[in-house]
Amino acid sequence: MKDLEVEGLYITRKRKKWKFAHFDSYVNCFSHARTDSPDITKQALESYLPVGQPLVLEIAAGNAQFSLQLAKKYPDHNFIAIDIKSDRLYTSAKQALEEGVSNIAFLRMSMHELEHIFSEQSVKVIWLTFPDPFMRKRSIRRRLSHPLFLRKYRDILKDTGLLKFKTDNRDLFLWSLEQFVAENWIFAELTFGLHESALSDDYKIMTYYEQKFTAEGIPINLVSLATHKH
């Protein structure tokens, strides 16, 4: 059993390495680290995506299947799926290239870098999908719905922009709602049972984690928030 586990680990590592290498060679994939020039990353993204289309970001995108479905449905919008882990983004990046979906890019980057790559008032919608809950007290600042991140989102969103957040984790959701109130976000839509709600079918397109949790019967929470009164 032990040998099998070790072998499994080895294969997983190899597969990850392979995905890292391919991610870097794909024309729709981009990486940005703290030490890189933000202008170069920005220019690379801008020259890849169609000019002049509204921008939608998915943050903590994981395998980014959600963004890819939205990109196919809305070819008149640009999508950028962001995650710190490129081996996760890789799957949808490959599929997008194979299917000729050219209004989506995949960006390996920590969310701490967000405001260096996206200008103020440049984003129409930010989707925060099933971020890690980081439930331990000392990890709270890593939550992507922490005020530290909410301020970054506010800065890059257009005045008419929206932040949309979905998660299975009720504790994280309730904590996040408190942060949204404290940070003066305006509630546009709220549900504790997305898939039973009358909200947009777009919202019900499932992420990888959402598929797993929904199959287990766990309800999905969603909130949509504006920075300003529309």
Ligand X SMILES: C[S@@+](CC[C@H](N)C(=O)[O-])C[C@H]1O[C@@H](n2cnc3c(N)ncnc32)[C@H](O)[C@@H]1O
Question: Residues binding ligand X: what is the number (CB under 6 A)?
Answer: 17
To ligand X, the closest distance from the beta carbon of 129 in angstroms equals: 4
Choose which of 210, 220, 222, 223 interacts with ligand X (CB under 6 A).
Answer: 210
DSSP 108-150: E--GGGHHHHS-TT-EEEEEEES-----SGGGGGGSTTSHHHH
List C-alpha distances in Å: 177 to 45, 57, 228: 32, 21, 17
CA distances from 58 to 10, 116, 207 (A): 31, 16, 11
Residue 43, φ and ψ in degrees, nearest 5: -60, -40
Residue nearest to ligand X (CB): 62
Q: How far is 34 from 79, CA to CA, in rounded Å?
A: 22
Q: Does 131 bind ligand X (CB under 6 A)?
A: yes
Given 208, 214, 219, 226, the residue binding ligand X (CB under 6 A): 208
Residues noted as catalytic: 132
Q: How far is the CB of 42 from ligand X (least distance, A)?
A: 18
By CB under 6 A, the residues from 44 to 103 that bind ligand X are 60-62, 83-85, 88
Looking at the Cβ atoms of 12 and 160, the one nearer to ligand X is 12
Note whether 129 binds ligand X by CB under 6 A.
Answer: yes
Question: Which spans of this chain sit near ligand X (rule: CB under 6 A)?
Answer: 60-62, 83-85, 88, 110-111, 129-132, 207-210
